[in-house]
Amino acid sequence: QVQLVESGGGLVQAGGSLRLSCVASGSIFSIGAMGWYRQAPGKQREKVASITSGGSTNYVDSVKGRFTISRDNAKNTVSLQMNSLKPEDTAVYFCNMGVARGRWAADEDYWGQGTQVVVSS
């Protein structure tokens, strides 16, 4: 009943920037935490950035100072601004949201389909 759709991935040179966006649609009462994860080939999925419903953010050390996560509650979106990209940022990026589908419902995790980010050297 809830779908997350990501956009903004692509190929960029080292030092460049990309902005990823993710919009949720469907039966949504409210959205709690939102986040971005990434997975490189042969590696485990890694949490890159997260943002609480109150706006508190956290980042994995490797992206601090380069990436910024933000949310727009009115639009049910979460974005990830990625600057000073490095080849090691190459991965499939997934958005994640905790969505309550009713006033008294518990949050449930939903995931986007993933968007590819390739950073060339």
Tokens of 33: 């935490």
Q: Cα 106 to chain center, whole Å?
A: 21
pLDDT in tens, 37-48: 999 999 999 999
Question: CA 83, CA 92: separation in Å to the nearest integer?
Answer: 17
pLDDT in tens, 26-65: 999 999 999 999 999 999 999 999 999 999 999 999 999 9
CA angle (85 as vertex; 59, 62 as ends), nearest 5: 30
